[in-house]
Chains A and B, each alone.
Chain A
Amino acid sequence: MATGQLFSKTTQALFYNYKQLPIQRMLDFDFLCGRETPSVAGIINPGSEGFQKLFFGQEEIAIPVHSAIEAACAAHPTADVFINFASFRSAAASSMAALKQPTIKVVAIIAEGVPESDTKQLIAYAKANNKVVIGPATVGGIQAGAFKIGDTAGTIDNIIHCKLYRPGSVGFVSKSGGMSNELYNTIARVTDGIYEGIAIGGDVFPGSTLSDHVLRFNNIPQVKMMVVLGELGGRDEYSLVEALKQGKINIPVVAWVSGTCARLFKSEVQFGHAGAKSGGEMESAQAKNQALRDAGAVVPTSYEAFEGAIKETFEKLVEAGKITPVKEVIPPQIPEDLNTAIKSGKVRAPTHIISTISDDRGEEPTYAGVPMSSIVEQGLGVGDVISLLWFKRSLPRYCTRFIEICIMLCADHGPCVSGAHNTIVTARAGKDLVSSLVSGLLTIGPRFGGAIDDAARYFKDAYDRNLTPYEFVESMKKKGIRVPGIGHRIKRGDNRDKRVELLQHFARANFPSVKYMEYAVQVETYTLSKANNLVLNVDGAIGSLFLDLLAGSGMFTKQEIDEVVGIGYLNGLFVLARSIGLIGHTFDQKRLKQPLYRHPWEDVLYTK
């Protein structure tokens, strides 16, 4: 592999498998470093196209999203780094596809769990085509002041703290991403900072090894010393030992191999017969540390002494005049994200919407505080749900049963009423379900379906003002208003509406009080004396009984009752109920495959 710099201040990358946070972090780092252009040129998200909005400094920018790797590479030919955030299932395939693109030189694979055989293929291909694979199972790497991969080095605070926004003189490479971060801090404390740091990842076969990067750093003139953090297991460190012995590395290397505690794992006895000759002892941290020491690396006696060793090595270089002092800059301020500021309590932002009837934020959605599961477990019905969502309280069963009866009775009234007619015409025009439904619902108002609401309103007003039935009816007559809830085309005093009887019967058996209904019956008695068809109809029955439900349940204050009637809850009940029928009519017409409806000329009076 060898050669030198992989990244620069103008490096452009493609990001595979959209993840907002790491991309935003990369862009924040870009801004911090004073880069003119963001490092992410394009995003690849299989199955989507369009743009993602992200911040570059204070401004929002739109980064194009492509659904395929080839398209992205064609659209962004100067992007030569491919950052792969795909899961372990698809990471290998997508990484290979990226390597095959002529514009891509470096592929970083974040996923952990890529099968070894796939990684070997990637390694072989990269080797044959002079490309570089970093990872898998890595957080990535960073070149100070120039470019960083994904989540490397963590938050902006940490990056500022470690001065990673400007290049120092240390080249760093390790297996672990987490420990890299610790060491960036250590190195920032005791040297002039990182020039470049790479985490090769924790897999058995890394795409590029510790020594690959060490040899590469060796060719970068700005790197004056190296820090290497190895781990027990594997033999990667030995290639570094070899390189040192062969004199290939001409700058100081401070190294430590962690994992000396492994001897504590008593039960992990290795019974492997070495068909592979992988000597257990050689892969231990102690052996590797000794080998590195013998080959000329600076190896401390413990991790604790690592910082001291790095410091000492750096200071020697300074004394020898090999370090040009870094030009310190003050990085620009990166505004904090709104949601982080809110989380940490720095700002408070007003909400724009208030909602009180349901909550979907918890384990399961709740209706007026009652969890969905208990609604089903207790065998509650639609009436109970309406009670919770419309009235925000759990009404007694007789109330919710009554609501259900009303819905059932109002569900449909045949194809000829305005609502159904509209729905039928719309369905026959080939429109979709929702359009057909809404078309019918739109006829509901003062003349169709609104009678329940009006009946309740007028009966309540009359009763509460202590009007006698006579006074009430006559005053309506004077105003020229038909008494809502009274009158039927067919039903007579001696041929009552069965629905009305059912409702009255239910109410008498279950409601604590039926005073409004009895008032309505008194009104009916009076109106029947005027004409035989002025019976209490279903709208009147429901309207008056609803008032009884509100007043008799003892669960509403007078104000609340006024409010329910004033807002027009009964309208809602009718709309809800009738939707059942209207949807039925829509399905009916569609099943029947009826053609477009045209009203017959004969049925129209054309006139001027």
Chain B
Amino acid sequence: MARKKIREYDSKRLLKENLKILAGIDLQIRVAQVTQSIDFTELTNKEPWLSSTKLVVKLDMLFGKRGKSGLVEMGGCKALITTFIVKPFVPHDKEYYLSIVSKRLGCTISFLECGGIEIEENWDKTIFLPTEKPMNLEACAPLIAKLPLREKIGDFIMGVFSIFQDLDFSFLEINPFTMVNGEPYLLDMRGEFDDTAAFKNFKKWGDIEFPLPFGRVLSPTKSFIHSLDEKTSASLKFTVLNPKGRIWTMVARGGASVIYANTVGDLGYESELDNYAEYSRAPNEDEVLQYARVVINCATTDLDRCKRAFLIGGGIANFTDVATTFNGIIRALKEKESKLKEARMHLYVCRDGPNYRTSLAKMRALGEVLEIPIEVYGPEATMIGNCKQAIDCIMSGA
């Protein structure tokens, strides 16, 4: 999915900057970001209000429901809090809610005259604006019809919407904002960007950070693969599921890899499934080599005396040259020969696609040369059969 959450600090900052430019609205909000490396003197010099007003300090770690949960540990997930947002304390009574969500055929815009944490219970004022229709006062009339500050709020909603589109937000929620001296004042805000628009918007977004969801820390392995993935037009993904599991997979294509994972799960061996890994869209030999190295490294650490199984394969390739990718995998296997033997690794290879015959033959030959058990199948076998074999292998003889 290409929807990336951004910190409240960044959402507010971008909204303030662009509202001025696009809609001539001057948002009177003030925010500062505090991280581990912050220099307080420098910060207070830049933002003098920090030392003169009463402040509110909140976590800026990409999760909502902060008021309700109030804790650092959530749903079994612990992680370090690294970033805070600081804003002036603004006493107010009236709260408003605004959210805009991008949908396939247009956008849903919700506006309510109350805000806060009980929002889910009050869903009635939502309009759907189809893609081809422009945003104007007429369109948002149903949202603000009976309000005293109709004009100001109407302008604000239209301003925020134009920024939503201009900056390629996929989701934006202001819960709540209030009116201070007759002007809108944001209290709390969440945003998500469509990161595929980065190549169009990098100037507008500036130095934006897309932090990982709370609780997800990139291990060195994952960050390496992530950087490989970024650099290529091919697709390389990797996630460790059960570090103690004994079935490892390196499967081509998103669809097939999910099915492999599914099948192992369906056969009841979820806990033995170590990782989710997929490569697709024709990575070249070198990319596959680097990728395979890392996966094999992971698969051969934490040795116990038990057998392990490695499923290499995938469905029938459309255009990825099986020979190229397999050459990369074969090179990696050769390099890691001793590690594989130490880990008592059994390999199960199943693949079809352009040049599959020579590749499978090479794999068979490799198995003989390296004296590692490698079982090789072409289209005559099913991916699922391989899963069964892998399971049988690890369950038999410890």
Contact = CB atoms under 8 A, between A and B. Distances in A.
Contact of A179 (B130, B259, B276): B259
B80 interface: no
A264 B273 contact: yes
Interface in A482-499: none
B138 interface: no
A344 B258 contact: no
A421 B281 CA distance: 60
Nearest to A113: B196
A204 to B, nearest CB: 6
B131 A176 contact: no
Interface string A198-214: 00001111100100000
A264 B280 contact: no
A120 B110 CA distance: 20
B215 A344 contact: no
A194 B109 CA distance: 42
Contact of A176 (B75, B168, B215, B253): B253
B141 interface: no
B74 A264 contact: no
B358 interface: yes
A124 B108 contact: no
A205 B194 CA distance: 12
Given A258-B262, A264-B265, A271-B64, A178 B255 contact: yes
Nearest to A183: B315
Contacts of B366: none
A273 B69 CA distance: 12
Given A177-B318, A179-B255, A344-B355, A185 B379 contact: yes
A154 B64 contact: no
Contact of A116 (B197, B241, B256, B276): B197
A124 B102 CA distance: 13
B205 to A, nearest CB: 13
Contacts of A260: 262, 265-266
Contact of A153 (B256, B281, B318): B318
Interface in A270-284: 271-277
Interface in B236-263: 239, 241-242, 252-256, 258-259, 261-263
Contact of A117 (B194, B213, B261, B384): B194
Interface string B10-40: 0000000000000000000000000000000
A271 B62 contact: yes
B77 to A, nearest CB: 5
Contacts of B316: 154, 158, 178, 181-182, 185
B170 A116 contact: yes
A264 B270 contact: yes
Contact of A273 (B64, B108, B254, B358): B64
B190 A273 contact: yes
A154 B190 CA distance: 43
A517 B240 CA distance: 76
A343 B323 contact: yes
A351 B273 CA distance: 50
A83 to B, nearest CB: 14
B253 A114 contact: no
Contacts of A87: 233
Contacts of A275: 99, 101, 110, 119, 171, 173, 175, 190
B216 A267 contact: yes
Contact of B241 (A139, A178, A265): A265
Contact of B104 (A120, A158, A202, A304): A120
A116 B214 CA distance: 25
A162 B215 CA distance: 45
Contact of B353 (A125, A158, A202, A204): A158
Contacts, number: 203
Contacts of B42: none
Q: Is the interface of B mostly helix, strand, loop or mixed?
A: mixed
A183 to B, nearest CB: 9
Nearest to A21: B319
Given A124-B105, A275-B101, A302 B262 contact: yes
Contacts of B315: 178-179, 181-182
Interface string A231-261: 1010000000000000000000000001111
A603 interface: no
A194 B241 CA distance: 36
B120 interface: yes
A152 B383 CA distance: 20
A264 B254 CA distance: 16
A161 B378 CA distance: 13
A115 interface: yes
Interface string B198-241: 01100000000000011110000000000000000101000101
A3 interface: no
A123 interface: yes
A87 B233 CA distance: 9
A605 interface: no
Contacts of A344: 355, 357-358
B106 interface: yes
B389 interface: no
Nearest to A122: B131
A366 to B, nearest CB: 19
Contacts of A265: 239, 241, 276
A226 B171 CA distance: 35
A114 B216 contact: no
A261 B131 contact: no
Contacts of B241: 264-265
A21 B320 CA distance: 11
Interface of A: 21-22, 87-89, 112-117, 120-121, 123-125, 127-128, 139, 151-155, 158, 161, 174-182, 185, 202-206, 209, 229, 231, 233, 258-261, 264-269, 271-277, 302-304, 340, 343-345
30 contacts: A88-B199, A112-B281, A114-B196, A116-B102, A117-B168, A120-B105, A124-B130, A124-B131, A127-B105, A139-B319, A154-B318, A158-B353, A158-B379, A177-B318, A181-B315, A181-B317, A204-B1, A206-B104, A258-B262, A260-B262, A260-B265, A260-B266, A261-B273, A267-B213, A271-B63, A271-B74, A276-B171, A302-B263, A303-B263, A344-B357
Q: Report the 6 A-B pairs with minimum CB-CB distance, sorted nearest first.
A: A176-B255, A178-B253, A179-B255, A273-B64, A271-B63, A124-B131
Given A116-B2, A181-B316, A265-B276, 8 more contacts: A116-B197, A117-B168, A179-B256, A260-B262, A264-B270, A275-B110, A303-B259, A303-B384
